[in-house]
A and B are shown apart, each in its own frame.
Chain A
Amino acid sequence: MKVIDLQLNVRGNSKLHQILRVMKFTILLLLIGSMHVYADGFSQSKISLRLQQADLKRALILIEKQSNVRFLYNQNVLKNVGKVSVEANNEALVKVLNDLLEGTGISYKILEDDLVVLNFDDEFFAPADLKVTGTVKDSSGNPIPGASVVVKGTKNGTSTDANGSYTITVADDATLVFSGIGFATIEEKVSGRASVSPTLAASERKLDEVVVIGYGTASKRDLTGSIVKIAGKDVADKPNTNPIASLQGKVAGLSVVNSGTPGQSPDIRIRGTVSIGAVKPLYVVDGIFNDNIDYINPNDIESIEILKDPSSLAIFGVRGATGVIAITTKRAKAGQTTVNFNTNFGFKKLVDKIKLADAEQFKTLFAEERSYFDPPVLDPFDYTGLTANTDWIDAVTRTGKFSTSNLSVSTSSEKNRFNFGVGYQYDEGIIRHEKLEKWLMSISDEFRISKAVRMGVNVNVSRQNNPYDATWVLDAARKVIPQISAGTQQFRVRNPYGTDSIDMDLYSGLDVGLQSAGVVNPLIQLENEWDKRRSFELRTVGSVFGELTFLKNFTLRSTLYADVSNINTRQYTPLYYAYNPKNNEPYLYSQTTRLREEDNTYRKFQQDHVLNYKRSFGDHNFTGTAGFTTYYFGNFNRIGNASQATGATGLPIPDDPRFWYINSGFQDPSNTASTGSQSEYTTVSFLGRVLYNFQNKYYLNASFRDDASSRLPELNRHQQFWAVGAAWDISKENFMQTQQVFDFLKIKASIGLLGNQTASRLDGTPLNYPFYPNLNTGTNAVFGTNVYSAADPEYIPNPDLKWETVFAKEIGFEANAFKNRLHVEANYFNRETRDLMTYVDRSALGLKNKLVNGGSIRNTGQEISASWDQKFSRDFSLNIGGNITFLQNKVLNLSSDLPTGILQRRFQNNGSAESRTTAGYPIGVFYGYVVEGIYQSYADILKSPSAAAIGSYRPGDFKFKDVNGDGVVSADDRTVIGNPTPDFTYGTSINLTYKGFNLGVDMLGVYGNEIFRTWGSLESPFQRVNYSGDKIDRWNGEGTSNWVPILGQGDRINYNGSSYNIEDGSFFRIRNVQLGYSFSQAMLSKIKVKSLRLFVNVQNLKTFKNNYGYTAEYGGDATAFGYDNAGGALPMVSTAGLNITF
C-alpha cells in the first residue's frame, strides 16, 4: 500500500476538509472515488504483462511500475480474490485492467492524477451529495432563464431562474445536461466542482430532438421516418380554441381546412385523401387514442408531433393509415416551482363578405325575371310593406370577442413532479349570439417511488358550454330579399303565455307569396331561441401508469386510460310572434312550446402494457419494444321530446329554465317520446418494434402490429401491419469530415403496410357493425291508424369483409448545412390504399346498398421544408422557414360491385352538383357540363349543336360544349370540370428578433384546386332567394353576357352542374402576424418576475383569393369536398395578450 498525498483538488467544500481530517481509510476511499478525474495520461499508458495464476495485488504492483498510475484499495477488497491470469503485449491499460478484474467482483474507477480506486462492484461509490450552483449563459454572455438542468440518466433536475442561475444537489460524479429552447443541449461532468457555468450555443437544430413515436419516445436521430414536431408555444398564443387550427401551413404534408365556427374541428388530412371513407387522422394524446382533442387546452400542450410515414405509423395498426397527430401535454420541468399566467383578448371580424343584390337591384332583376315567365308577368310586383334595403349579411353578423386565460403551476422534486393548470376560453363567432365557453383543468403528478419504480396520474377535465347552433344563419340570411326589414317593430299582442295584452318588439316575417319554402328571416328564430338552449359538455380524460425498470435494460410500463364524456343538451322552443310585412299584422310564429332533451355519453377505455429493452453493445445500439393494448369505445345517446298539452287544460311550458325538462309537469304525457342510439367496439392488439443503429451511422427501424377488432366477424378478425425503415447518416462518414458545407446529412427510406379502420357510408358516417346492417328506422307500415315497424336492413353485409390497407413507401433526406444555419428536409411518398371498404349505394337502381372491399387509390407527393437561422448580432436574429407539398391523388380502380365503377355524390336540387370518384382521376372530382357561353339568339341556337336531349332552352341559357363531338349536346357531354385537391400547398414563416422585440409572420397558400359554388346558381327552383351579386351582369339581350345566364327558375337547363359553378380555389393568406416584446431580465428580477412578454397577434389578416365565397377553404368528407355552400366565413382575429412567469 502506497502512501498517497491526499491534498487533492477538493474544491471549495469546507465540510469535505473537515471530514478529510477525521477520515478512516474507507471514507477516504469513498470520497476520492466520487471525484472524477481526467484520465488522459491513464488512457495513453501501454502495458505489457504476462502472469499465470498470480495474486491480483502483484499484478497491480507490476502495472504501477510500468505506468504512472497508483492504485487505492482496502485490503478487504482483495482478500477473497483468487489467482488471476493476464497476457498483454503493449496494450491499453484500460483493456488490461478490464481483463484482469473480469469475474472478480471488483470494479475500478479512475481519479485525477492517475489514481485508480478499486472496490466491490455493489458497494462501489455511493456518491456523495454535492451542491452545485452556476449560471447558464448564451454565446453572447447573456444569462438564459428557464434553461433545464438535469442529471444525466435521471429525472432529477431544475431550471434556471431569471438570471440564468440554478442550484442543484447531485452526486459529485454526476453529469449535468443543460438544455434550453433554441439552444443546443450540452453535457458537463460535475467532477466534484461546486460551480458549473456552461455556455450554450444556439440550437444545433433538431438533430437530437426527442419525438413522440407510438408507445414511447425516441431521438429523432434514431428514426428512419418523417415526424414533424411543433412546439406547444407555437399554438398556445394563437386565437384558436382548437390547437390543430393553428398548424395550417406549418407542416409539409398536413392539410388543414379551417372553419370559422367556434369549437368546430378543421378538416385535417395527412398526405392526401387515402380513403373513400374515413380521412381523419388519429389523435394520440399522452398515449390515449382519440378521434378529437377538443378537451385539450392549447396552453397545456408541450408539443405536437405529426407522424406521416410508414415506419412511424405501422405501430398504430388499423388506425395508422390516415396519419397520427400525437400530442404531449406539459409536465413539470425539473427543479423549482414555476407559476405561469397568460391571457389574451381580441376581436373577430368578417372580412371577405359575399356580394348580393340590394333592394333596387333585386327589384330590377325580379321584374326582369317575371317578364320571362310563361306567360310573361308584366305587372310590377306588389312591394307593399317591403320597403327596407337590408344587407342581410351585416344584419346577422357582428364583431365577435375572443379571450383565453390560463394559469399553471408546476413544481418538482426528485421524487415528485406536479403540474396543475386551469384555463378559460371565451370564443364568440361572427354570427350573432354564437358563443363557445370552455373551462379546462389539468393535473399531472409523477412519483418516483424508488430508482426502479415510477408511478403517475394525469387528469384533464373540460367543461364546455356549446354554442347555439347558428351555422345555418349565414346561408339563411343571404336568401332573404333585401326588402325585408331586419329591425323590429312594436306591436300590442296577446301575451302568448297568458291572456293579457303586452307590447312586444317583433321581427318581420317574409312575404309568403314570394318567399316561403326553405327561406326564413333568420333573425326571428335566432333572436327568440338563441338563449333557450342549455348544452353542457363535461369530459374527463385521465390515465394512471406504473413503470418499472429492471435488469438494467428493461422497462415495463403499464397505463390505463379512460375518457368519459357526457353532453347534456336541453333545447326549449318558446312561443313568439313575428309580423307579416304585407299587412303589418302580428302572428304567432312559434305556436307550441316544446322541449328536447338529449344526453350523449362517450366511454373510451384503453390499456397499454409496453416492455422496452434498450442496450448498446459496442457499436450496436438497440431499442426493442413489445406491447399489448386493448381499446374499448362506447357511445350511448338518449333523446327525449315533449310538447305542451293541448286542449282546455293545456298550458305552455313556461319560458323558465326551471321547467326545461322532459318531465316538467306541463308536458303532454301522451305526446312525450324518447329514443336513443348506442354502439360499442373493441380492439385487442399486439405490437413490437425494433430501433437499431450501428455506430449511429446506419439505422434500421422495424415495427409490427396485430389488430383484432370487434367490428369484423371472427373469421377475418385479425389483421397484421408492418413497416421497415432504413437510414444512413452520411455526415458521420470519414469522407464527409473534410467538407465544410454539411453539418448533417441523412438519407432515409421506409416501407410498410398500414390499416384504415374505415367502415362508413359514403358521406363518412361510421358503420359500427359492418357485418350487421342496421334496420332502417322509421320504416313503418300503417294500417288504419295502427303502426307496425318494418324490418328493412340498410344494406347487404359481406361475409368476406376486411379492413382496407395502405401500402406506403417513403424516401427522403434531412440535412443541415452552413454551420447548421440551413436545415432542409425533403421526402417523396407513395401511398396506395387497397381493398377500399366501399359502401355501394345502389338506391338509384332501386337496390339495396352493399358493403364490399374493392378498388385502390394512390397518393404520391413530394414534401420539402427548409429553414434558415441566423444570428447577426447579439441583439438581432432571423429565422425564415418554408414548406411546400405537392400532391397527386389518383383513383386506380374501384370496386367491381359498383355498377359502372363510379362513386357519385350528388347535392343541391336533384343532385346537380356532383362529385365523382372515377378510376383514372383524382378522388372526388367535380363532374358536369362545360359552359362554352350563352346562346345569344335563336340564330345562335340554330347554328349550335342541339341540346334538346337535356331539356328545352332559349337565348340567354347556357351553351354547353359538345365534348364528345357527336354533334349533339347530351348527358354524354358531361365531363370532369374541376378537382378539389390542390396541386400543391405551401407555407412560410419569418421570425425576427431584435433585443426584446419579436416579429413573426406566417403565410400560407394552396394552388391548383377548384371550388364548386352551389349558392347563387344551383338553389332549388322551389325557392325564391335573393340574387347573388354576379347576377347584375346577367344576360338580358343579345351580347350582354356570355357567362351569366338569363334570370329564371323555369330555365332548368341552367340548373345543371357546369363549369359555371366552378371557381379557382387557389389562395394565398397572411395567416398570422405577431409582434411581441419580452422585458429584460434585469428589469424583471427587481419585481420577482422571471419573464414577462406582451404581444399583439392578427390572424387571417388578408386572404388573396379568386372565388366569390367568404373564403376559399371548403372541407368535406372523403369523396365530396370543396363545396361552397355560402358558409364557412373565416374571420380576421386580432388579439393582444401577456404571458408572465413567476
Chain B
Amino acid sequence: MKNNKKILWSLLVAFPMLFSIAGCKKFLDRKPLTATLDDLNQGALEGQVLGMYNILRSYGGFSTLPWIDFHSIRDDDAQKGSDASDGKEVVTEFDAFNYSKDDWAPNTYWNDHYAMINAANTALYTADSLKVTDDASLRNVGEALFFRAYAYWELVKTYGEVPLINFRIVNPTDGIKDKSPLPTLYAFIDSNLQAATLLLPLNSDAYGNGYDGRVTKGAANTVWAETYLFRQNWARVVAICNEIIASGEYQLNADFSDNWREWKNSIPGAGKNSPESIFEMQATVGANAVNNSSLYNGSDFGTSQQVRQNGAPVSWNLGWGWNAPTQSLVDAFAANDPRKERTILFSGQSDGGPALGGFGATVPAYTNPDGTGGLAQKYWNKKLYTGNDPAMRTYTGYINQSGSAGWINHRIYRYAEVILMLAEAANELGDGVTAAANLELIRNRASGNLGPTRTIVPPIAFVDKAQMRTAIKNERHYELAMEGKRFYDLVRWGDANSVLGPLGYTNRARYYPIPQQAIDLSGGVLKQNPEW
C-alpha cells in the first residue's frame, strides 16, 4: 500500500510536468499555416502588382456591369438590354440620366477605382521602402504607376474633381479628403504616366514567357495620349501617338472581327492580345472549369453582354444580355459598312458565320420585351458574341450552362484608337494630310482592305477642318461602337446635349454625383459635385 501510494504520488506530480515541460513559448508561437506577406520575397511587390490585375479583372467597377453602365449604356448607341423586368433601375439611372447617388452600380464603380488606387499606393510604398533597383521591381513600379493613373483617369472622366490619395493610407482617417482641382489631378496623372512610360517595357516579352498582355509602355502612352485628347492638347496627342506608331509593336488586324476572337487555330485563348491590342483586361477559364472555381479566372464582362435566353432554347442561355445596341446605332451605320454586321448581332437572323465574326448559328427571334417564347432584344453586341464560340463552350464546359462566358478579354485600348486620335489631333492642328491618311487606314481596313478604289467605306479626302472633324467623329462612332468610348467622346466634343438631350441628358449629367456612401464615410469632408 505504501509503495502504491508512492507510485501514485510520483505519477501525479509527473502528470503536469509531462505536459508543461515542452515549453510555453514554443507552444504559444503559432504562425498561420498559410503564406502571409512576410513569407513572400521582396515584400511581395510582384504579388501586389499582380493583385492590381486581379482588381482590373474581377472588380465590377472595371470590367462588368458598373463599368458598362458608365461607359456604354448611357450613350446613344447602347441601352440596358436584358429584358423588361431585369435591372429596371439602370434604365432610369443610365439610359435616362437620372443618376442615383446610392445604388449598387455607381457605388461599386467609385469604390473599385479607389481600391485600385490604394493597391497601387501600397505597392509603391513597399517598393520605396525596399529601395528596389532591379529591373523586375522597377517594372513593377511602372505597372503600379500605370494602374494608379488609369484609375484616376477613369475617375476624372466620370466625376471631374475627386479626392487625390497619392500615399499609402495607414490610419483610415488619412483617407478623408475633399476633392482636388482638375489641374492637380491632371498633373498627378501626367507624372505617373510619364514615369510609367520610362519604366515599362516595350512589349510583354520582357516580363518573360507566359505574360501576354501585361502592361507595356504602349499602354501607358495610349492612356496618356487620351488624357491629352480630352484636354485638347493636340500637339502632345500627335507626339505620343507617333511614338506609339514608331515603336513598331502594333498593327491593325486584317480582319476587323479578329480584334475579338478568343479561339484561334484550335488553341483556346490564342485570339487574345492580337497585334492590334494595346491594353486588355485578361480573363481565362480553364478546360472544364464549370464545376471548379479554381479553374475559373474569368470576368463578368463577357457574361454580362451575351445573348440572354429568356424564352429561347437553353442553348441560347449565353449570358445576361446587357449593353444591347439601339436602333439609333443600327441606323447610323452606312448600309454597306461591313462593320455593321460585325458590331451588331440581329435576333431572328443568321449570325453570318465565321466571315462576320459568327459561328453559323441562327439567332432566335425577338418576341417582346419580356422575351416570352423568344428573345427580349432585337440587337446584341456582336463584338462580344465570341462568347458563343462552340469550341470555347465545349472546352470550358459552359455548354447550356447558367449563362456564363467568363473567358472573354475586355479590349480596353487598341491600335485603331491610336490612329484615330492621331487623325483627330492632326486635323485640329491643321495637318489635314496626316488626318486623312490615318483616317484612311481605318476605313480601308473596315472595308476589308479593298484599296483606294473601293465603294464601300470609301476613302474620304480632306476638304476642310470641320469636314474632316465630322468624318473623324463619325469614324470613331462606327469603329469603336459598343466599346465604351462614345459617351465621353460626346461630352468632350460638346455634342452630348444635341445627341443625348432627347434621351434625358442635361449638362449636369456630364459628371456623375459622388456616391452618398463615400460622403457619409468622410463625415461630410468630401463634398458632393456642385450640380448634384
Contacts and interface: CB of A to CB of B under 8 A. Distances in A.
A741 interface: no
A679 B33 CA distance: 6
Contacts of A1055: 89
Q: Which 6 A-B residue pairs are closest in the complex by CB-CB distance?
A: A846-B114, A791-B47, A781-B53, A784-B212, A781-B50, A790-B50
Given A775-B34, A899-B172, A630 B213 contact: no
A711 B58 CA distance: 32
Contacts of A793: 36-37
A556 interface: yes
10 contacts: A373-B84, A377-B369, A382-B370, A671-B292, A769-B36, A790-B47, A790-B51, A792-B119, A900-B521, A949-B101
B107 A910 contact: yes
Contacts of A453: 5, 8, 12
Interface stretch (A76-84, A174-182, A255-263, A836-844): A836-844
A646 B111 contact: no
Contacts of B84: 373, 377
A643 interface: yes
A34 B373 CA distance: 101
Contacts of B33: 678-680
Contact of B282 (A778, A784, A791): A784
B166 interface: no
B295 interface: yes
Contacts, number: 319
Given A671-B291, A775-B35, A897-B171, A783 B282 contact: yes
Given A780-B54, A845-B518, A1050 B376 contact: no
Interface of A: 373-374, 377, 379, 381-382, 449-450, 452-453, 511-514, 516-517, 546, 548, 550, 556, 558, 560, 582-583, 587-588, 591-592, 594, 607, 609, 628, 630, 632, 641, 643, 646, 668, 670-671, 673, 675, 677-684, 708-711, 714, 717, 768-769, 772-775, 778-793, 796, 840, 842-848, 850, 896-900, 902, 909-910, 949-952, 971, 1021-1022, 1024, 1048-1050, 1052, 1055-1056
Nearest to B44: A791
Given A684-B24, A708-B24, A897-B171, A556 B12 contact: yes
Given A643-B288, A679-B33, A775-B36, A708 B28 contact: yes
A607 B115 CA distance: 46
B187 interface: no
A784 B372 contact: no
A718 to B, nearest CB: 10
B386 interface: no
Contacts of A628: 16, 20
A349 B272 CA distance: 58
Given A684-B27, A774-B32, A847 B50 contact: no
Nearest to A375: B369
- Interface-central residue, B15, B169, B282, B376, by most chain A CB under 10 Å: B15
Nearest to B283: A782
Interface stretch (B248-256, B309-317, B433-441, B487-495): B309-317
A778 B298 CA distance: 11
Interface in B281-302: 282-284, 286-295, 297
Contacts of A377: 84, 369-370
Contacts of B171: 897
A898 B294 contact: no
Contact of B522 (A550, A591, A643, A900): A900
A782 B12 contact: no
A671 B287 contact: yes
A710 B50 contact: no
B287 to A, nearest CB: 6
A778 B37 CA distance: 15
B111 A846 contact: yes
Interface size class of B (residues with CB under 8 A): 35 or more
B518 A844 contact: yes
Given A682-B28, A789-B47, A1021-B88, A512 B175 contact: no
Contacts of B87: 1021-1022
Given A382-B373, A785-B268, A772 B294 contact: no
B464 interface: no
Given A772-B31, A900-B522, A1021-B87, A846 B19 contact: no
B183 interface: no
Given A377-B369, A949-B101, A513 B310 contact: yes
Contacts of A709: 28
Contacts of B368: 379
Nearest to B282: A782
B284 A785 contact: yes
B170 A796 contact: yes
Given A781-B50, A782-B283, A843-B115, A772 B291 contact: no
A514 B311 CA distance: 9
Contacts of A1050: 88-89, 91-92
B50 A845 contact: no
A607 B38 contact: no
B107 to A, nearest CB: 7
Given A546-B15, A779-B50, 12 more contacts: A513-B83, A516-B310, A517-B86, A582-B311, A675-B294, A684-B28, A717-B28, A769-B32, A784-B284, A844-B518, A846-B117, A1052-B89
B98 interface: yes
Given A775-B37, A952-B98, A1050-B91, A846 B282 contact: no
Contacts of A546: 8, 11-12, 15
Contacts of B293: 778
A567 B51 CA distance: 34
Given A643-B290, A782-B57, A514 B370 contact: yes
B265 interface: no
Nearest to B36: A772
A900 B290 contact: no
Given A513-B83, A513-B310, A775-B34, A847 B288 contact: no
Interface in B104-140: 104, 107, 110-119, 122
Given A846-B111, A846-B114, A646 B397 contact: yes
Contacts of A902: 520
- Interface-central residue, B51, B111, B376, by most chain A CB under 10 Å: B51
B173 interface: yes
A332 to B, nearest CB: 23
Given A673-B295, A790-B48, A1052-B103, A846 B115 contact: yes
B456 to A, nearest CB: 34
Contacts of A1049: 85, 88-89
A917 B361 CA distance: 55
B100 to A, nearest CB: 5
A847 B169 contact: yes
Contact of A845 (B15, B83, B175, B291): B175
Interface string B56-92: 0110000000000000000000000001111111011
Contacts of B29: 710, 714
B1 to A, nearest CB: 7
B12 A952 contact: no
A847 B290 contact: no
A778 to B, nearest CB: 7
A782 B53 contact: yes
Nearest to B267: A785
Nearest to A587: B314
B400 interface: yes
Nearest to A634: B33
Contacts of A950: 101-102
A291 B368 CA distance: 56
A548 B8 contact: yes
Given A684-B27, A769-B31, A558 B15 contact: yes
A971 B102 contact: yes
Contacts of B292: 641, 643, 671, 673
A174 B11 CA distance: 32
Contacts of B47: 775, 789-792
Contacts of B117: 846
